[in-house]
Amino acid sequence: MEISTHSRRLSDQLLAFAWDEWAQMGLFAAPHRRSPWAQDPEALVVFTLEVARADARLFDEMMDWLLVNESLLSVRRLRAMYIDETDRALVAAMLGWLAHRRPRARLRNRESMSDTTTLQPLFGSGGPVSKADKDFAAAGWTRPPLTPSHKSSQPDPMTPINLAFRLRQILGVGVRAEAVRVLLTTDAPRVNAQTLARSTGYAKRNVHEALTGLSKAGVVSAFTVAGEQRYKADRSPWAALLGCQSDELPTHRDWPQLLGALRRILRWSEQPELETMSDYLRASSARDLLETIRPDLAFAGIPVDLSPSPENTLGELAEIIERLLTTIGADPRAR
C-alpha cells in the first residue's frame, strides 16, 4: 500500500476520533461513544487544528466551540502544546480570530510570526480563495472568512471526558486544576512533580508551588520517597465532591504526548516526496521519525524498540501507529 493511502486512512481515523471527543464536549455533533477518560482540552485543541485541516466543517465547528468556551481554556497551556512552528502558526490564527470577537487581553497574540508574506492554504483540498479571512492571513494562512455557526454549547461537567472543566470551575483555570486532574485519574499510587510537569504542561517550579498549597490545604497528600517528594490525591473525598464514586472517576491518558506524536506522524506521512524516495531513504526517514517521538511514547507507556534492520522500520512504524490508535480508542474501521 502506498504511503499516501496510509496517510489518508490515518487522517480519517484521527478525524473520527476528534469528532467523537468534541461531540461529548459541547460541539454541535452526535457522539458515537462515551469516552472513559478525562480529556486534556488544550492538547485536543492543538491536535484538532492540524487534523481538521482535512475537514473544514470540524475546523469551523471547533472554532465556534472555542468562541463559546474560551474562558475555560488556558492560553498558556495552548502554547505549551507546540511541537513545531506549524502548531505555533495555527494557534496564532485561532487566537487572532477569537480576539477579534472576544476582546480579551489574554487572547492577544504576543508572538511575532516569522513570515506571513507567503500565505499557505489552511485546508488540504479546495480551489483558490477569492476572499481570505484577515485573522488567519495575519498568521500566514489562507482560507475563506470564518463565520461562527452559534451551534455549540458548554461542556457537560458531569461526564467523564469533561473532568478538566469541572475542576477548573472549582479550582480555577490554572496549574492546580491540572495537577488534581492527573492525580485523580492516573494509576500510579504517587507521582512526583517532574512527572506532573510533563503531564500538565506547566513548569516544575509552578507545579511544586501548586502542590505545596494543595498539600497545606489537606486535599493532596505529600510523601518523601528516597529523598524525593511525591504526591497523591485521596480519591474518595474528591469523588464525593464531584458527585460520583471513586471507582467512577475517569481514566488517564498522556494526551500531550500521544496527540503530539500523532501530529508528527501525520505530517510526516503527508510529505509528497516520500512517494518518490527509495526504500532505503524512506525507511531512514521513518527511523528518524521514530527516534523523535520515542521519548514521548515512552512517557505515555508505549515503548519503541527499534530493530537494527532498516527494512523493518516501516513495519515498526505501522505497529506503533496501531498501538497509538488503540490507546486513544480510535475506530480502526473509520474511513
Q: What confidence tens digit (pLDDT) does each residue in 282-294 have?
A: 999 999 999 999 9
What the block records as the C-alpha cell of 114 is 516569522
Contact 59, 133 (CB under 8 A): no
Q: Cα separations (Å) of 246 from 132, 211, 249?
A: 50, 21, 6
pLDDT for position 333: 53
Map grid coordinates 484538532 to a residue.
48
pLDDT for position 86: 97
CA separation for the pair 220, 207 (Å, rounded): 13
pLDDT for position 172: 96
- Report helix, strand or coil for 160: helix
Contact 168, 178 (CB under 8 A): no
CA separation for the pair 89, 269 (Å, rounded): 20
What the block records as the C-alpha cell of 246 is 471513586
pLDDT for position 153: 97
Contact 43, 17 (CB under 8 A): no
Q: Cα separations (Å) of 275 from 25, 65, 146, 279, 321?
A: 38, 37, 34, 10, 19
The pair phi, psi for residue 209, each rounded to 5°, is -65, -40
CA pseudo-torsion sign 160, 203, 197, 49: positive
pLDDT for position 335: 36
CA pseudo-torsion sign 208, 211, 216, 221: negative
Write the burial class of residue 4 (CB in 10 Å: 0-12 exposed, 13-18 middle, 19+ buried).
middle
- Report helix, strand or coil for 51: helix
pLDDT for position 107: 76
pLDDT for position 129: 84
- Residue type present at position 118: T
pTM confidence score: 0.94
pLDDT for position 146: 96
User: Nearest CA to 55 among 125, 116, 2, 5?
Assistant: 125
Low-confidence ranges of the chain (pLDDT < 50): 1, 334-335
CATH class of 160-248: mainly alpha
Angle (CA) 296-201-321 rounded to 5° is 30
Pairing state of beta strands 221-225 and 228-232?
antiparallel
Domain ranges (residues) in the chain: 3-142, 160-248, 255-327
- Lateral strand order in the sheet of 228-232: 191-192, 228-232, 221-225
